[in-house]
Amino acid sequence: MLYDRYRGPLLGYVLRSVRGDYEYAEDVVQETMMRAWRNSPALDPDRAGPWLFTVARHLVISGHRRRAARPAEVPIAEREFASGDDDIDRVLQAWQVAEVLRGLSRDHRQVIIELFYRRRTVSETADQLGIPIGTVKSRSFYALQALRAALEERGVTGS
Amino acid sequence: MGCLITSSIGAYLLDAVDPAEREQISQHHTWCDECRDEVIDLAALPSILHHVFAGRRRTATPADTRDDDSLA
């Protein structure tokens, strides 16, 4: 089971980065697992490690579900994020992601912005960009592949 | 590329497909090796994309991104 295998390592990894806040670390691990399950019910446990850690790390960096009941918590500076046992060496800064996005082709960047950042549906995006729905879909697929390749080039995907 | 569903995976991972299609694709890649491999490869990206705005504001609005020359 994915959960059994990765819960311990993920928890340890996140705990180091949230200064031992166990409840918050558990939240992050739960959310990571939920996303794993939601995205891929049959995710191969042998291959899941790198991206599970990536998802967990980004949940922490983005302050996912920070508990309002704990005002004493300070935002985690990215440089304080422990690199731990995972393969990812660099901490990804927001400006670096923006830079990678700018480096994509205009077609690829457009569909990512419309679908992801502006939260438009496929058909809304098709209308907005004046292209067929099928093109929006295939273009978004290639856009993500291009994004991944660009991130790999910068050494940030850790796979 | 052999599977016709594969080209929908981008929209699926970016959460831009309707619930029915989402369910279809979600079930599909439990048995389709090609699609499952692609999902595994790309699934971490939405979290990384979210990070562009995480430090500045909780969610980006269309007006915000329209005026954001850095991403235009």
pLDDT one-digit tens code per residue, A15-63 = 888 877 888 888 888 888 877 766 654 566 666 777 788 788 878 876 6
The complex scores an ipTM of 0.74
Helix axes A22-39, A2-17, angle to 10 degrees: 140
CATH fit for domain B6-71, picks 1.10.10, 3.30.1490, 3.40.50, 2.40.360: 1.10.10
- Candidates A118, A120, A125, partner chain B, best to mutate (most B CBs within 10 A): A118
pLDDT one-digit tens code per residue, B21-72 = 988 988 887 788 888 878 877 887 887 787 665 543 334 444 444 444 444 4
pLDDT one-digit tens code per residue, A136-152 = 999 999 999 999 888 87
Chain B residue numbers with beta carbons less than 8 Å from the beta carbon of A115 are 10-11, 14, 16
**Domain map of chain B by residue range?**
6-71
pLDDT one-digit tens code per residue, A83-99 = 333 333 334 566 777 88
d(CA A61, CA B16): 24
CA-to-CA separations, B49 to A92, B43, B67, in angstroms, rounded? 11, 11, 18
Choose among A46, A63, A52, A1: nearest CA to A30: A52
CA distance A115 to chain B (A): 6
What does pTM read for this prediction?
0.57
CA distance A154 to chain B (A): 14
- What's the CATH fold of domain A94-153? Arc Repressor Mutant, subunit A (1.10.10)
**Domain map of chain A by residue range?**
2-80, 94-153
Under an 8 A CB cutoff, do A141 and B53 touch?
Answer: no
CA distance B36 to chain A (A): 7
The CA-based angle A146-A150-A156, given to 5 degrees, is 130
